[in-house]
Structure 1
Amino acid sequence: MEDIVLVTVDSVRRDYADAFESLSDLSVQTGVTGSHYTRPSLASLISANYRGAITTEVVSPTIAEVLSDAGYTCLGYSPTPNTDSRFGFDRGFDDFDTFVEPGNRGSKLRQYLGSINALRWIYYKIYPPQAKSENRPRDYEVIERAIKEFNDAEGPRFLWVHLMETHRPYGVGEEGMSKQLDQKAFFKPDKLTDEEKTEIETKYADAIRRADENIDHLLSEIDSDPVLAVTADHGEGFGEEGFYFHQGHKRSIADFQTKVPVILDGVGVEGPMSLLDIPPTLVGKIGVDVPASWHGRNLLEDNSEYAVTIAPWHDTATVAFRDYEKTFVARDADVSFKQGDITADVERANVDQELEEQLQDLGYMDAG
């Protein structure tokens, strides 16, 4: 069976797909994300299940579990606490690494204090995202690890890599935004000058180009010509709705937040799709049965008819239903999911204190 490589790149909007220069020979489709920030979006993608977006945790069977059962060696490398094993992201993988070390269980009080805007401002003044970005491995290092483990693994192989340097501040050191510009865009976006707005978007595009170089390096160094899918977990805001970046507590389901590029190689499908369609399409391509519990479609057999985006935060969510012509939105609603005997509600996940701190360093001040 053919090897499969899935690359997800953090925070890439559909209208910035041209920055993937090494993949320019491949057609770019429009994908609709399952959620509005990393954890619920990737949980729903890896699970091909909307319940992953509602609960912000992975639901079995994952694409790795399905491929593992089919005889694949499954490898996953994602340098973000949003994909910690405590959220189920390691299910089905023979080797999985987030490159972070969560510690002991934290308190609800700290989560509550983190939800207060004034304290959010103080936190970022003391510990901006520029500081935490230097504590993660560079995307190049993650790619090097992926290349080595992939080439050493017994085939057939499934590799998932998530790249993080396209997340604000869009690079390490001088590559990314300065602390001052980042905080101005986050807290006072209406005060940004035209020059500052241009600088932010230039830094962003440059970060995507560096991600493209890393993807090109990965594909040139692995000993395979795999079935390939490249996409993003969500987009990014540049003032369209009065805010910059992606801020989970705003529950945005706008196009800039939820429409991302999808680039496929070895899979001849076209048209708009939900990201939940990617796992069944990849699994279907190699002749493995698609689990009945998956919500995505095998696009080799059926067109995608609709996409649902669920934007949870605390105990409510905004939900968008798209049939690719019209969009229906329910804002800040109580959302429940029912499938057979399984039910799930939007609620805050309980996470360890050090893991919570790692999430806060990424900007999810009340992401627990």
Structure 2
Amino acid sequence: MTADSSTPSAADADASSDDATVSNVVLVTVDSLRADAVSPYDTARQSPVIDGLANSGTVFDRAFATGNWTPFSFPSILASEPVFARSGDIGVDESVTLAEVLSDAGIATGGFNAANGFLTDHWGYPDGFDEFEPFVTSVGSSVYSRYLAAHPTVEAWIQLATSPVRRLASKLRGDDDDRPFLDASRMFDVEDAAIGFVDDTDEPFFLWVHYMDTHTPYVPAPRYIREVSDGIVGTHRMLHAHTRTSLGLEVGERTLRELRTLYQATVRQVDASIGRLLDALTDAGVADDTAVLLAGDHGEEFQDHGHLAHYPKLYDELIHVPLVAEVPGLDGGRVDGHVGLDAIPPTVADLLGVDSAPEWHGESLLPALGGDDAPSESGDPNGDALPDDPVVSVTVRGEDVTQQPIPRSLSDGDLFVSARDDDWTYIENVDAGERELYHRPSDPTQQENLAVDPDAEARAVIDRLAPVVDDHAKLLRERGAAAAERGAATDDEVDEDLEARLEALGYK
């Protein structure tokens, strides 16, 4: 696939920005980042760098992930297609990825993943990247390294014991205590690799970085715990919370508050790293023609529906994610209509003047990035520029909601599919025929299932969204059956380092 000069660039989307050009795109994805964890969606949060991107760019208020787990969401983010839709697998091995399309168009591509084992060559994610590093081997082969990676409570003890020494050393050096004792999240590995790519690459380029700090276990540097909490001592919160959760003790209000504090501290830690990456763009002289997109791959639950982390559910705490785009020359603003993360690949391609792959499911959001003031019938200024189709999300649940490992095929449990528009969430256990319906404006935490005894309005919504769910389930089953017939591999055994990293993330 080659670049198409007739494809509109970001500059063409706004007549007042004729001199603006986009030569490069940086896509930042943050694991387990729910929308209300960052200040553009909740002003009580502390994410000044992301807030800066939002203030000068576009915020999509209703952006939704296509799954509750990384392997269920990333086929849409990097290949614009649903999980299982290509080969019956959770990966993108047989998909047409964004990196492949851009690389074929002569654009330099770099991808750096902070050791999420599901975003590795085992599942096809390096395809199309000129430079790709998953940092999985950074877990280390020693017994000591593997033990610490899999035991966050022990790591928290080490953080506590070394914190006074590090703080004293930082004061003597005259700098900040930015770094945790162990870079378990691989944040600095990713940051350094990304900055090196920017420094060494001629334009145009596409850079993808994926942060893991906000994924369990939450082990931020102590300074960020203190920054988002109301006291000067922060690390003891990490110690207490990790000890109780690792021992399976009841999570009371105190522990839940501590976990939320730790989570927000990791958000602030990622925010600071993104700031250093943006500074690197400026230092390299490419900031003025580089678009930056930021998204969460899925959210995180804090007992919103009875659990922690991100088990197989499709409620907003796991599916509603931030999506922010800063494009040079475009005024931006806030977009109220619903969008799915499968819009990311065609949007990035559009920004770089490259044709989207015909296999992609999503549509470019470039028309919505210009801040068009002409309202749609719904009153949304950007509504005419957005797809009308509901956003569909998928999960697979085994016999128990907390069952591990993560399902890797449709045969690993019941298929759950949800469909969302601007106001409604419809969820169906397709195998069991169980239905849920929520009206988010009046029930933002999705507690009242209107499908139990639907009134006329609810019945009309079910009649509209249920066929969308049924069609999606049919598509996935047909593709899965076709893959099985041709003998496509769906669960090859992973190597030892990869298994160690998955175990460190809690996926045994």
Q: Within 2, Cα distance between the matches of 1:363 and 1:196?
A: 19
Q: Which residue of 1 aligns with 2:317?
A: 256
Q: Tell me, yes or no, if structure 1 residue 49 matches structure 2 residue 81.
A: yes
Q: Which residue of 1 aligns with 2:349?
A: 283
Q: Which residue of 2 aligns with 1:184?
A: 244
> Is the 8 Å Cα contact of residues 3 and 155 (structure 1) preserved in structure 2?
yes
Q: Tell me, yes or no, if structure 1 residue 245 matches structure 2 residue 309.
A: yes
Q: 1:39 to 1:341 in 2, by over 3 A?
A: closer
> Is the 8 Å Cα contact of residues 2 and 286 (structure 1) preserved in structure 2?
yes
The structural deviation recorded for 1:201 is 0.6
Q: Within 1, Cα distance between the matches of 2:210 and 2:326?
A: 18
The structural deviation recorded for 1:172 is 4.9
> Is the 8 Å Cα contact of residues 229 and 264 (structure 1) preserved in structure 2?
yes
CA deviations over 1:232-257 (Å, ceiling 9, x no partner): 1110000111111123xxx1111000
Q: Which residue of 2 aligns with 1:3?
A: 24
Q: Which residue of 2 aligns with 1:12?
A: 33
Structure richer in strand, relative to its length? 1
Q: Which residue of 1 aligns with 2:213?
A: 165
Match of 1:210 among 246, 269, 273: 269
Q: Which residue of 2 aligns with 1:87?
A: 123
Match of 1:128 among 134, 141, 151: 151
Q: Tell me, yes or no, if structure 1 residue 70 matches structure 2 residue 131.
A: no
- TM-score, normalised via structure 1 length: 0.82
Secondary structure at the counterpart of residue 394 of structure 2: strand
Q: Within 2, Cα distance between the matches of 1:141 and 1:126?
A: 16
Q: Within 2, Cα distance between the matches of 1:89 and 1:221?
A: 25
Secondary structure at the counterpart of residue 74 of structure 1: strand
> Is the 8 Å Cα contact of residues 281 and 300 (structure 1) preserved in structure 2?
yes
The structural deviation recorded for 1:357 is 3.0
Q: Within 2, Cα distance between the matches of 1:254 and 1:173?
A: 30
Q: Which residue of 2 aligns with 1:323?
A: 421
The structural deviation recorded for 1:61 is 1.2
- TM-score, normalised via structure 2 length: 0.61
Q: Within 2, Cα distance between the matches of 1:102 and 1:44?
A: 27
Q: Within 1, Cα distance between the matches of 2:191 and 2:247?
A: 34
The structural deviation recorded for 1:32 is 0.7
**Number of aligned residues:** 342
- Please list every run of 5 or more consecutive structure 2 residues that lacks an aligned counterpart in the other structure: 1-21, 40-45, 140-146, 156-179, 226-234, 368-384, 397-406, 433-472
Larger Rg: 2
Q: Within 2, Cα distance between the matches of 1:8 and 1:38?
A: 11
One-letter amino acid of the structure 2 residue matched with residue 153 of structure 1: T
One-letter amino acid of the structure 1 residue matched with residue 386 of structure 2: N
CA deviations over 1:79-123 (Å, ceiling 9, x no partner): 2212111100001000000112399xxxxxxxxxxxxxxxxxxxx
Deviates most, 46-55 or 219-228: 46-55
Q: Tell me, yes or no, if structure 1 residue 309 matches structure 2 residue 451.
A: no
Q: Within 1, Cα distance between the matches of 2:424 and 2:483?
A: 27
One-letter amino acid of the structure 2 residue matched with residue 252 of structure 1: K
Q: 1:235 to 1:72 in 2, by over 3 A?
A: same
Identity %: 29
The structural deviation recorded for 1:364 is 1.4
Q: Within 2, Cα distance between the matches of 1:211 and 1:173?
A: 11
> Is the 8 Å Cα contact of residues 186 and 245 (structure 1) preserved in structure 2?
no
Between 1 and 2, higher relative CO (CA 8 Å, sep ≥ 6) is seen in 1
Q: Within 2, Cα distance between the matches of 1:86 and 1:274?
A: 26
- Please list every run of 5 or more consecutive structure 1 residues that lacks an aligned counterpart in the other structure: 104-123
